[in-house]
């Protein structure tokens, strides 16, 4: 899943990026609201972590603009401002959740998973798509009742398919969501990881349609 961190404190941004990368997220960072606005216009994201006190365009202004554009991407506001009025303002402008600094990384991760599930129409961290079962919080995958051994990238790709089942995704789509921020990646790398997953799941688990891309059949 591709996540944008909008945070002007470099230490916090890097701390978040390191932790969430370890949890399988593909991370981009914006240092101010205007930069985030530009990035969100150019690239697709699955979720945003948004600070409030930002240069150029603050978090309130950015979330308001996103919702006025009918952009319904899940947004978690992460801020030191902890008054009830601040929380209400953020939520009324369209934020999906609000977490006050300081915070525990495990809580942040749990809240992000909850927002992702909700945006994909899933009620639990444990999801089932056909013969596949995923535990999003533990990053475990079971295929036909047997535990899968997956690399971090294989799991991230499979998780994207599971949370977005039923659609077709081109190499570029998958690069944008699973390999975000890695400009030197050859698009054919996607094909390689599809091959790895097919070896573990069977050739019928992921369908290829010329002109449309890949689809997970489960």
pLDDT in tens, 143-180: 999 999 999 899 999 999 998 888 899 998 898 888 87
Query: 93 near 52, Cβ under 8 Å?
Result: no
Statement to judge: residues 90 and 130 lie in one domain? no
Sheet hosting strand 97-100, strand order edge to edge = 26-30, 2-6, 47-50, 75-79, 97-100
Statement to judge: residues 132 and 201 lie in one domain? yes
Query: Bridge partners of 208?
Result: 214
Question: Closest by alpha carbon to 164, among 108, 213, 199?
Answer: 213
For 86-99, write each residue's pLDDT tens digit. Answer: 888 888 889 999 99
pLDDT for residue 208 is more than 70: yes
pLDDT grade, residue 17 (50/70/90)?
A: very high
Statement to judge: residues 47 and 133 lie in one domain? no
Domain with 166 in it: what CATH number? Answer: 1.10.10.10
Statement to judge: residues 110 and 7 lie in one domain? yes
Statement to judge: residues 193 and 146 lie in one domain? yes
At residue 211, the pLDDT reads: 84
pLDDT for residue 183 is more than 70: no
At residue 58, the pLDDT reads: 93
At residue 199, the pLDDT reads: 95
Highest mean pLDDT among 29-38, 79-88, 187-196 belongs to 29-38
At residue 181, the pLDDT reads: 66
Question: Closest by alpha carbon to 49, among 22, 82, 83, 15?
Answer: 15
At residue 179, the pLDDT reads: 85
Q: Provide the whole-model pTM.
A: 0.79
At residue 185, the pLDDT reads: 78
Query: How much is the mean pLDDT over the chain?
Result: 90
The rounded percent of the chain whose pLDDT value lies above 90 is: 62
For 31-61, write each residue's pLDDT tens digit. Answer: 999 999 999 999 889 999 999 999 999 999 9
Give me the mean pLDDT over the 61-82 stretch.
Answer: 91
Statement to judge: residues 30 and 68 lie in one domain? yes
The structure tokens listed for 155 are 């799991």
- Look at residues 119, 146, 166 and tell me which one is the last residue of a structural domain: 119
Domain count for the chain: 2
The structure tokens listed for 2 are 């591709």
The structure tokens listed for 213 are 């891309």
At residue 182, the pLDDT reads: 63
The rounded percent of the chain whose pLDDT value lies above 70 is: 98
Residue 162 is part of which domain span? 126-216
Secondary structure of 174-209 as H, E, C letters: HHHHHCCCCCCCCCHHHHHHHHHHHHHHCCCCEEEE
Please tell me the distance from the alpha carbon of residue 68 to that of residue 97, in angstroms, as a whole number.
18
At residue 81, the pLDDT reads: 76
140 Cβ contact list (under 8 Å, min separation 6): 134, 147
Sheet hosting strand 132-135, strand order edge to edge = 126-129, 132-135, 140-143, 146-147
């Amino acid at each position: 899943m591709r996540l944008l961190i909008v945070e002007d404190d470099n230490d916090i941004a890097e701390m978040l990026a390191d932790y969430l990368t370890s949890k399988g997220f593909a991370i981009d960072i914006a240092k101010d609201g205007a930069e985030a606005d530009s990035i969100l216009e150019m690239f697709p994201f699955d979720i945003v972590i948004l600070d409030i006190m930002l240069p150029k365009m603050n978090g309130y202004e950015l979330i308001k603009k996103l919702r006025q554009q009918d952009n319904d991407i899940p947004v978690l506001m992460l801020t030191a401002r902890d008054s009830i009025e601040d929380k209400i303002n953020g939520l009324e402008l369209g934020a999906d959740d609000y977490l006050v600094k300081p915070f525990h990384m495990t809580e942040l991760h749990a809240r992000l998973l909850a927002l992702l599930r909700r945006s994909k129409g899933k009620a639990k961290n444990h999801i089932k798509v056909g013969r596949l079962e995923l535990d999003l919080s533990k990053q475990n995958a079971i295929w036909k009742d047997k535990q899968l051994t997956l690399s971090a990238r294989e799991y991230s790709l499979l998780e994207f398919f599971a949370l977005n089942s039923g659609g077709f995704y081109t190499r570029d789509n998958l690069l944008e969501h699973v390999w975000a921020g890695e400009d030197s990646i050859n698009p054919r790398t996607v094909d390689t990881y599809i091959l790895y997953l097919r070896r573990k799941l069977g050739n019928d688990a992921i369908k290829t349609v010329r002109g449309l891309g890949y689809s997970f059949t489960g």
